[in-house]
Structure formats: C-alpha cells, structure tokens
C-alpha cells in the first residue's frame, strides 16, 4: 500500500522513493523537450511532474494555460519560498495566466489565524516580496484573491465536495473521526483554488499547472480525481504539477517560518541575512587536513544549496565551486564568505524594491 504524505506534517527527503510510490514522472526525462528550461529544472531542484509535458506543448504552441500557486499566510516569508516565485517569473514570461489564492481559510483552520491578521501577513510578507522579486501582479491575466472573500471559489468548493467522500479524504490525508470539520474542508478549498482558472469567468476549461513541494501531492491527487469527475458537468481538465526539492534550513532541518534558527527571512536586514549564511551547516570535514584529503560533502551542504537554488546563476562558476569542494581545494570559510557576500548583495537590492512593492501590494486585495 502506498504510504501517506501528510501535507501538514514534517516531510520525507527520499525523493526517489516518493516518485516511485506515487507514479510521478521525472523532469530529467523531458528536459530536452523544454525550450530554455527554468534554472531549477536544469539543476534538478524541480525533479518531478505530472503531465508537465502537456503544459510544455501549450507553451511551445503559444496556447492558453494557467499556473496556480497558493500561499497560506501563517508567518514570515523565507528564502525557500523564493523558489516558487522564480518559477512563476518563468511562467509569466511564457504568457501564463497566474492565479494566486491566499489561503486564509486554511490558516484559520490549521493555525487559528484571524482573517484580518492573515490579510496583513499576505500583503506585508508575501505580495510585497513577490512583487519585489520581479512578478508583475497588476497584469490583466493575474488573479490574486483571499479565499474568504471569493464566493465563486466557495461555490466551486461545494461542487468539488459533492464528488468526494470521507473515505477518500481519509485514505489520502489520514483523517480520523475526531478530525476537525474545518480541517477536512480546507483541502476542498484548495481543490477549488486549482480548478478556478477553468471556470467561465476566466475563459473556461484550460490546462493548469501547480508548482509544489512533494508534501503537497495529496492535494494534487485529490484535485486530479475531482477534475476528472467534474469533466462531464463542467468540462474541466486534470491539472498538471511539478515537484521541487525543499531548501534545507540553516541548521540542517527543513527551513521553516516558525523556526528562526533555520530560516533567512525576506524581511531580514541584509547584514543579518549575510550573518545567517555564515552560521549555516556545511558539508565540511572535521579538520582542514581531512577536507584536503577527502574533499567536502557538497550534497550535504546548506551553503552549496543556497548557491545552487538562489545565489549563483552562472553554471560554470557553480560547477567550479562544486569541483573545488569535492577535490578538497576549497575551504568552507572562503566558500561561506562568498555566499554571504552574494546574499548581502541580493538583500540590498531586494530592500530597495520592497518599499514601492508594498504600496502596490496594498491595492491588490
Ligand atoms: Fe560546502 Fe563550500 Fe564547504 Fe564545500 S567548501 S562543504 S560547498 S561550504
């Protein structure tokens, strides 16, 4: 029997095992067909997909498709979240409609967050930084909304709930008879979020892609099943998805908004962000002598991950660092100093853009 992935709990790092368990396709198998692939696809950070080949065909034919990615406003936005924004930038360049739900109903159900506070966090943390990172959220084909203020979404969630039952939700999420009903409802809101771009209001049925971490796959599987069942009634198509690796936290655990020692927050000061890089766990050996003899453990290194995911665009430079780490000629101190300098520069540029971005963000919801 396939194991459960609980989207509200911790996560597994065995990506290959999960791909095999859940029948997810490998991005590496279709990479050659993608024109100018997104950096994270080339680097294997986006490792899996369901039906992304269909989306790729639409991109190549200049046809309509939509991208959905939600945010649950529960805390500060950290640098790991930037990964999704980088993907959205790529899709926006390819002409996609962007549908960006703010899951305030989910944060109410899962975290007890008031709607007012959720809206404040969505504006200050998420929308401001999404704009500062380069997304144009004022385009006509961008839809940003709060779940609690979208009657169409609620209607769609109700229709979706008519196509599932407790047994199915229990088998996907592991719900028990004592699970709170709001908690049971929240995946159905997410199903509706993913299906919303296919409604008449947005031009009718179309292919949608959802870029997510593997922990969100239960929602994708449920949505695909319900979309299939709604096909006859509403003509909906099954949504596609891509799966990316998580950015490891500074201490070596998952990066989490609620654990300050694991995360670099996008609202951190640039000097603080640079200092945090220096505190990150590396794949360095116990002693310099050992490092020179054995080389560093580059794939266990948080500093290298920061370079790979966010700080270094130049493939050759990155490869040089990887090789010098592996052959023991690069010292962790020098490597950290470089990453820290790049992080400070990135944050200095981000700070300049955040002020104007915040003003735009306030007008969106
Ligand atoms: Fe990490 Fe750099 Fe040390 Fe290698 S040299 S383990 S990449 S910090």
Q: For the segment 44-100, what is each residue's pLDDT rounded down to a tens digit?
A: 999 999 999 999 999 999 999 999 998 999 889 999 999 999 999 999 999 999 999
Which structure tokens are listed for 294?
């054995």
Cβ neighbours of residue 128 closer than 8 Å, sequence gap 6 or more: 354, 357, 358, 361
Query: What residue owns the CA closest to ligand 1's atom 3?
Result: 332
Closest approach atom of ligand 1 to CA 297: 6
Q: What is the CATH number of the domain that holds 325?
A: 1.10.240.10
Contact between residue 4 and residue 172 where contact means Cβ atoms under 8 Å apart: yes
Same domain, residue pair 161 and 200: yes
- At residue 12, the pLDDT reads 43
Average pLDDT estimate for 340-356: 97
Compare 192 and 215 and report the one with higher pLDDT: 192
Q: Residue 288: inside a domain, yes or no? A: yes
130-156 pLDDT tens trace: 999 999 999 999 999 999 999 999 999
> How many angstroms is it from 326 CA to the middle of ligand 1?
8
Same domain, residue pair 230 and 272: no
Residues lining ligand 1, Cβ inside 6 A: 282-284, 296, 298, 301, 303-304, 325, 330, 332, 335-336
Same domain, residue pair 238 and 355: no
Percent of residues, the chain, with pLDDT higher than 90:
85
- Picking from 192, 210, 244, the residue at the C-terminal end of a domain is 244
> How many angstroms is it from 42 CA to the middle of ligand 1?
21
Same domain, residue pair 319 and 222: no
Nearest Cα to Cα of residue 162 among 191, 182, 183: 191
> How many angstroms is it from 259 CA to the middle of ligand 1?
24
Q: Which of 281, 292, 294, 296 to mutate to test the pocket of ligand 1 (most atoms within 8 A of CB)?
A: 296
Burial of 232-249, coded b for 16+ CB within 10 Å and e otherwise, reads eebebbbbbbbbbbbbbb
Same domain, residue pair 318 and 200: no
**Structural domain total, the chain:** 2
Same domain, residue pair 274 and 238: no
Q: What is the CATH number of the domain that holds 87?
A: 3.40.50.620
Closest approach atom of ligand 1 to CA 336: 8
Cβ neighbours of residue 240 closer than 8 Å, sequence gap 6 or more: 49, 50, 51, 52, 54, 55, 207, 208, 209, 210
Q: Which of 280, 284, 287, 328 to mutate to test the pocket of ligand 1 (most atoms within 8 A of CB)?
A: 284
Q: Residue 89: inside a domain, yes or no? A: yes
Name the residue range of residue 289's domain: 268-361
Q: Which of 283, 299, 311, 329 to mutate to test the pocket of ligand 1 (most atoms within 8 A of CB)?
A: 283
Which structure tokens are listed for 20?
């095999």
């Amino acid at each position: 029997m396939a194991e459960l992935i609980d989207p509200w709990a911790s996560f597994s790092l065995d990506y290959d095992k999960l791909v095999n368990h859940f029948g997810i396709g490998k991005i590496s198998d279709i990479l050659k067909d993608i024109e100018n692939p997104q950096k994270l696809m080339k680097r294997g950070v986006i490792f899996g997909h369901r039906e992304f080949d269909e989306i790729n065909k639409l991109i190549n034919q200049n046809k309509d498709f939509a991208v959905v990615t939600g945010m649950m406003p529960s805390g500060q936005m950290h640098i790991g979240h930037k990964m999704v924004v980088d993907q959205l930038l790529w899709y926006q360049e390819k002409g996609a409609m962007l549908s960006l739900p703010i899951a305030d109903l989910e944060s109410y159900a899962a975290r007890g967050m008031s709607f007012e506070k959720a809206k404040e966090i969505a504006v200050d943390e998420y929308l401001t930084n999404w704009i500062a990172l380069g997304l144009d959220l004022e385009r006509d084909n961008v839809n940003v909304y709060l779940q609690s203020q979208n009657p169409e979404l609620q209607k769609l969630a109700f229709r979706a709930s008519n196509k599932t039952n407790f047994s199915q939700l229990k088998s996907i999420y592991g719900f028990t008879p004592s699970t709170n009903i709001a908690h049971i409802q929240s995946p159905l809101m997410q199903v509706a979020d993913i299906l919303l771009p296919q409604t008449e209001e947005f031009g009718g049925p179309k292919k949608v892609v959802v870029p997510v971490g593997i922990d969100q796959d239960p929602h994708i599987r449920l949505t695909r099943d319900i979309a299939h069942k709604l096909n006859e009634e509403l003509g909906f198509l099954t949504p596609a998805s891509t799966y990316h690796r998580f950015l490891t936290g500074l201490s070596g655990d998952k990066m989490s908004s609620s654990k300050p020692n694991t995360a670099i927050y996008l609202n951190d000061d640039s000097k603080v962000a640079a200092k945090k890089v220096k505190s990150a766990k590396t794949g360095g050996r116990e002693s310099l002598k050992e490092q020179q003899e054995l080389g560093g453990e580059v794939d266990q290194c948080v500093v290298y991950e920061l370079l790979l995911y966010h700080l270094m665009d130049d493939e050759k430079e990155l490869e040089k660092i990887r090789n010098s780490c592996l052959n023991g000629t690069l010292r962790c101190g020098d490597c950290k100093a470089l990453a820290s300098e790049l992080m400070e520069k990135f944050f200095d540029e981000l700070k300049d853009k955040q002020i104007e971005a915040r003003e735009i963000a306030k007008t969106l919801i």
